[in-house]
Amino acid sequence: MEAYTEPYSLLNKQTVDIAQALKSLQEELEAIDFYNQRVNTCTNEDLKRIMAHNRDEEIEHSAMLVGWLKVYMNGWDKEIGEYVANAKAGTMGIDLEDGPDAAPGASGQDLKIGKL
């Protein structure tokens, strides 16, 4: 399987499960993009509704996979809680540890995208 960068025989079951979940998430996100583009360009309203339904199903599948990762892979729970649960327009890319209302450049702050 191409998803493995290390020898499969050295990977434990949890690492293999996580790799499968991440690959599945990648495929679901790609399908969302495909359907979303088709919905945007489709001229037949019946077909457009079907493809919008298909796109929305793929979004559901993606959310289910993210939920699984939240439970089974370290780090997802904290980051989802911080960045997904608190997401709102105008604050994307701001490190929420500085406060959700912090403005980029205010008080000498730089726009922070995670921690390096």
Distance in angstroms (rounded) separating the CA atoms of residues 41 and 113: 33
Per-residue pLDDT tens over the stretch 77-108:
999 888 888 888 988 887 756 655 555 555 44
Residue 27 CA to residue 23 CA, distance in Å, equals 6
Residue 55 has pLDDT above 90, yes or no: yes
What gap in Å lies between CA 96 and CA 19, rounded to an integer? 29
- Mean pLDDT, residues 2-23: 93
- pLDDT number for residue 107: 47
- The arithmetic mean of pLDDT across residues 23-44, rounded, is 98
Asked if pLDDT for residue 53 goes beyond 50, the answer is yes
Distance CA 22, CA 88 (A): 25
